[in-house]
Amino acid sequence: MKIGYIGLGNMGSAIALNLVKAGHEVASWNRSPGKDEALVAAGARRAASPRDAAAGAELVMTMLADDRAVEAVTFGEDGILAAAGDAIHVSMSTIGVACAERLTEAHGPGRFVSAPVFGRPEAAAAAKLFVVAAGTAEALERCQPAFAAIGQRSFAIGGHPPQANLVKLCGNFMILSAIEAMAEAMALAARGGVEKAKLLEVLTGTLFSAPIYQTYGAILVEERFRPAGFAAPLGLKDMNLADAAATASRTPMPLLGLLRDHLRAAIADEGEDVDWSALAIAAGIKRGAISGPGGM
């Protein structure tokens, strides 16, 4: 399949390489140069612009930092839209619902698919991502060979692309909610003299056997918030996107509000470079056992 590919960060590079390995014909572009050497060595073509990457392609896949970056490669005289072919733009970035609405409208029916992914860079490298896709049935069908090359499973959410973005934001909200819940529980337990590791052993050994609790539980027990696997400001950005969607649809989300406050506090007090799980610090995970009344 002829695929234009834009955005060669950690995630993007790993995904693009899997596309090449799977035999797709990839033309790649990245705003900052020098990120595409491995990819080109593996057989990709270096495109001169987003427009060039899109020219003649069946799919143009983008994996970028935020709304602004995706719009920057889409619009304008060197943008994807200017290529004027019949490529489908497949946006894998975690962007806002309103931005996805604008892109859907700009591309027209059937020419835009939102396909954000779940998984960390290692999962991307191992082609083990989960792909959450929305768009017309025909468009999703055309994307299958690409999705198969990069992930272990894809989910078809619905016919309107922004719905996939909403699901992705919900997923990140759920992860952070689980971290917050663990952090508060560990804080309470620790204040009462129960070791955090002991609480985690019970939780993951009984009802909370999902990997998310094991991975982040260990981070909380060790208070290992640096280096960031996913930096707190990026987590805050995603929660802000969820908040914007909630504002637009008049949906109260008090737990989301709590997460955003704790992220802000963690960044204010710990710095911009901590992991998003550092919201646990704002949830009080560093307070030790109490020695007065209420202690054990």
The answer to the question of residue 162 lying near a second copy (CB under 8 A) is: yes
For residue 244, give the nearest of 166, 129, 147, 185 by alpha carbon: 166
The answer to the question of residue 286 lying near a second copy (CB under 8 A) is: no
Name the segment binding a second copy (CB under 8 A); options: 6-14, 32-40, 56-64, 241-249: 241-249
Q: Which is nearer to a second copy, 227 or 293 (CB)?
A: 293
For residue 87, give the nearest of 97, 76, 79 by alpha carbon: 79
Q: Which residues contact 288 (CB under 8 A, 6 or more apart)?
A: 190, 191
Contact 198, 261 (CB under 8 A): no
Task: Name which of residues 253 to 272 contact a second copy (CB under 8 A).
Answer: 253-258, 260-262, 264-265, 267-269, 272
Can 168 be counted among the known catalytic residues?
yes
Q: Which is nearer to a second copy, 48 or 202 (CB)?
A: 202
Q: Which residues contact 75 (CB under 8 A, 6 or more apart)?
A: 81, 106
Q: Which is nearer to a second copy, 81 or 285 (CB)?
A: 285
Name the segment binding a second copy (CB under 8 A); options: 5-13, 73-81, 106-114, 192-200: 192-200
Give the pair of three-digit tokens for residue 225.
């918030």
The answer, yes or no, to whether the previous bond of 50 is cis (omega within 30 of 0) is no
The answer to the question of residue 68 lying near a second copy (CB under 8 A) is: no
The answer to the question of residue 42 lying near a second copy (CB under 8 A) is: no
The answer to the question of residue 236 lying near a second copy (CB under 8 A) is: yes
Q: Which of 168, 196, 198, 286 is catalytic?
A: 168
Q: What is the closest distance, in whole angstroms, from the C-beta atom of residue 246 to a second copy in the complex?
A: 6
The answer to the question of residue 82 lying near a second copy (CB under 8 A) is: no
Task: Name which of residues 172 to 191 contact a second copy (CB under 8 A).
Answer: 173-175, 177-178, 180-182, 184-185, 187-189, 191
Contact 129, 15 (CB under 8 A): yes
For residue 8, give the nearest of 57, 56, 73, 55 by alpha carbon: 73
**Residue 168: strand, helix, or coil:** helix
Give the pair of three-digit tokens for residue 130.
């989960």
Q: Which long-range contacts (CB under 8 A, 24 or more apart) does 214-218 make?
A: 216/175, 216/178, 216/179, 216/182, 216/277, 217/182
Task: Name which of residues 213 to 232 contact a second copy (CB under 8 A).
Answer: 213
Considering only 5, 29, 112, 118, the residue that binds a second copy (CB under 8 A) is: 118
Considering only 1, 22, 35, 155, the residue that binds a second copy (CB under 8 A) is: 155
Q: Which is nearer to a second copy, 37 or 272 (CB)?
A: 272
CA gap 290, 106 in Å, rounded: 58
Q: Which is nearer to a second copy, 3 or 166 (CB)?
A: 166
Q: Which residues are catalytic?
A: 168
